């Protein structure tokens, strides 16, 4: 097999000892490239270490696809991410039991480029997802404003780019509601034939795919 690069070997060592540098991670992260910070985030997630502190320390404005699934992230951590990484195009928050409607609302309000959202994944998170359905509907939130200028543009554009929703255990009622009220959103899309990613369903929106797998390609799995 192809030998691992020196960078990947070093990241594997750092990732294996991540808990030992958490206290100073925010200081170290200042000097790290965005892609390296994303690798550390993916390793932290796989090692069940990912929480608000690590996410806040590593969040980068250039990130476009982030996997937070199964982590201990709360609304506070998600808020920091969406305020820093406003160009997010794909995000996985499935099985994040501490997230609430408030956090998801801020995500959809601030990340105008978000195309793919993955949520649900457990009974508790499915319940939160159902409570968030109203956020997916196109609407004006300030119908009492005196003029168009009074409208909050972030609210007006909330979730406007969202096209793919991955929700493995979606219930029939929720699926029907999305189809009727948010027809632009495709739920659990079927993968495109090989070689057609650019013209069909993106890899990030395929249910069976792991969003951050490409990030850790080349890193020794023994790291986690």
Q: Which two tokens stand for residue 84?
A: 């820093």
Taking only the tens place, the pLDDT of each residue in 105-139 is: 999 999 999 999 999 999 999 999 999 999 998 76
Q: Is residue 112 part of a domain?
A: yes
Q: Is residue 85 part of a domain?
A: yes
Taking only the tens place, the pLDDT of each residue in 38-68 is: 999 999 999 999 999 999 999 999 999 999 9
Residues 10 and 78: their CA atoms lie apart, in Å, by 28
The range of the structural domain enclosing residue 154 comes to: 6-223
Q: What is the pTM of this model?
A: 0.89
Residues 11 and 223: their CA atoms lie apart, in Å, by 9
pLDDT of 142 reads 44
Domain with 168 in it: what CATH number? 3.80.10
Taking only the tens place, the pLDDT of each residue in 156-183 is: 567 789 999 999 999 999 999 999 999 9
As a whole number, the mean pLDDT across the chain is: 90
How distant is the alpha carbon of residue 16 from its chain centre? 24
Number of domains observed in the structure of the chain: 1
Establish how many alpha carbons lie within 13 A of residue 177's alpha carbon, considering only the half-sphere containing its beta carbon.
15
CA dist 184 to 18, 34, 197, 218, Å? Answer: 41, 32, 19, 36
Q: Is residue 60 part of a domain?
A: yes
17/4: higher pLDDT: 17
Q: Is residue 1 part of a domain?
A: no
H/E stretch holding 156 reads helix 153-156
């Amino acid at each position: 097999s192809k030998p691992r690069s020196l960078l990947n070997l070093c990241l594997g060592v750092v990732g294996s000892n991540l808990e030992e540098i958490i206290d100073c991670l925010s200081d170290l992260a200042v000097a790290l490239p965005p892609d390296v910070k994303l690798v550390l985030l993916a390793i932290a997630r796989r090692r069940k270490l990912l929480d608000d502190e690590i996410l806040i320390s590593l969040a980068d404005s250039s990130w476009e696809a982030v996997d937070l699934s199964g982590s201990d992230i709360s609304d506070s951590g998600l808020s920091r991410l969406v305020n820093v990484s406003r160009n997010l195009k794909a995000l996985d928050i499935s099985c994040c039991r501490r997230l609430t409607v408030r956090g998801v609302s801020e995500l959809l309000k601030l990340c105008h480029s978000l195309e793919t959202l993955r949520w649900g994944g457990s009974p508790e998170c499915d319940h939160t997802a159902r409570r968030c359905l109203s956020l997916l509907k196109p609407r004006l939130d300030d119908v009492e404003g005196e003029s168009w200028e009074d409208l909050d543009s972030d609210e007006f554009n909330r979730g406007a780019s969202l096209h793919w929703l991955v929700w493995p255990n979606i219930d029939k009622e929720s699926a029907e509601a999305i189809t009727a009220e948010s027809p632009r959103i495709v739920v659990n899309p079927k993968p495109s034939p090989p070689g057609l990613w650019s013209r069909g369903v993106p890899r990030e929106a395929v249910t069976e795919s792991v969003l951050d797998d490409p990030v850790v390609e080349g890193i020794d799995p023994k790291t986690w």
